[in-house]
Each structure stands twice: as C-alpha cells, then as structure tokens.
Structure 1
C-alpha cells in the first residue's frame, strides 16, 4: 500500500531534491574564500543527495505525469525554492522584476497541464 499518492509523492520528493540542488549550485557563494576544488567536491556530494530524491520522484511521477509535465513541476519548484533561498540564505533582495520573471516562467507550466485540467 502506498502511503502517498503518485500525484503528490513526486512533488514532495522534488521539493526535497531542489533544496539540496540549490545548496549544491548556489550555497558556496557565501564561501568565496574557499578553494574551488573543495567547493566542487562538496557541491558534488550534495548533488548526489539531490539525485537520491529526484530520480525516484521522476520514476513515481511518470506513472501519472508526462515527462514535460514533470519538468514543468520541477522548474516551478526550483524557482520557488530559489526565491526563498535567495532571501533567507544569501540575504539578497527579491524584487518585483524577479517575481514577474519567475511568474512568467511558471505560467508556461499552465499550458503543459491545460489538457489535464
């Protein structure tokens, strides 16, 4: 018996994977004094954890979503997590222009799901 619906599980797993990937790709920006090779190795290790959630998310999600729909879900989640990360971890401003740009990208996901609604 599955505890979580195949429609919900990929979303939850992609949220977790994107937290790891955001730290792998951008977390090092607070540590510019560290050697690049060390940053690459640490980022690679974090990215490995990301794959442990992303691969099952896509495997489970493929039973109910198309590949383009899964990609759209992942992109919307990535933008959302990145916006939070930018403000909370990097301490950078999130402007109205950022919000509009992200909303336009997220709006594209609507068309990938339009036939499913």
Structure 2
C-alpha cells in the first residue's frame, strides 16, 4: 500500500496513528467534563471513525507480516505508549514509578510473544 515504507513498519505506524485518535475519543472529553455526556459521546464516536479507518487496514496489512497474536500485542503496547504520553501531556496527570514498572512488565510479556521458540 505504501511502497516507500517497509511492510513490517506500515501497520505499526498506522496502529500508532489510530491509537492517537482512539485515546482522544475515549479520554479527551475528561478535560472537558462540563460538556454534556451526549455531546461527548457523539464527538467521541466521530473521532473513533478515524481510528477504525486506520486500525482495520493496519491489521489487514499487518497480517501479511505478523501473526494475529503479534498484531494484538503491538496494539496493546502502542496503546500504553500513546496513553502514557496523552495522560501526561493532555490530562496533566503524572506517571508514577508503579506505572512504569507495570508498563515494563507488559513490555516483557510482549517480548515473549515475539520470540520464535
């Protein structure tokens, strides 16, 4: 699809972009709690459409290079990375050492998924 980007990298970039949209769809409204819930739902749904437009083809393209378990693992690790940045930069919520240790354990689990034993 994107001839100038290696096939193994294309789904990763698309999943990263889709996660930015989804994180804003799910959590962006928390910075605007005075907005009526129905409006937050409708805006979030609209944002999520862009996420689907990236995530579905990312998984379709990625399945040519990665197993389903590897794609799902990538998705979860990318989600945590995007959420950590979002939490600090958008919501102004600090990450503590316990969050970092938990994320490190998840990264270790991801490492095991990608091993060919």
> Which band: TM-score by shorter chain?
over 0.9
What's the TM-score once normalised by structure 2's chain length? 0.95
Tell me what 2:54 maps to.
Answer: 53
User: Over aligned residue pairs, what C-alpha RMSD do you find?
Assistant: 1.2
Aligned pair 1:103/2:104, yes or no? yes
Partners of 2:111 and 2:23 lie apart in 1 by: 24
Query: Which 4+ residue blocks in structure 1 deviate beyond 2 angstroms?
Result: none
101-110 vs 87-96, which moves further = 101-110
Q: What is the TM-score of this pair, normalised by structure 1?
A: 0.95
Q: For 2:7 and 2:58, how far apart are their aligned partners in 1?
A: 9
Give the C-alpha shift of residue 78 in structure 1: 0.6
Aligned length: 116
Give ranges in structure 2 of 5+ residues lacking alignment.
Answer: none
**Distance in 1 between residues matched to 2:78 and 2:61, nearest whole Å:** 17
Quote the Cα distance in structure 1 between the aligned partners of 2:49 and 2:109. 29
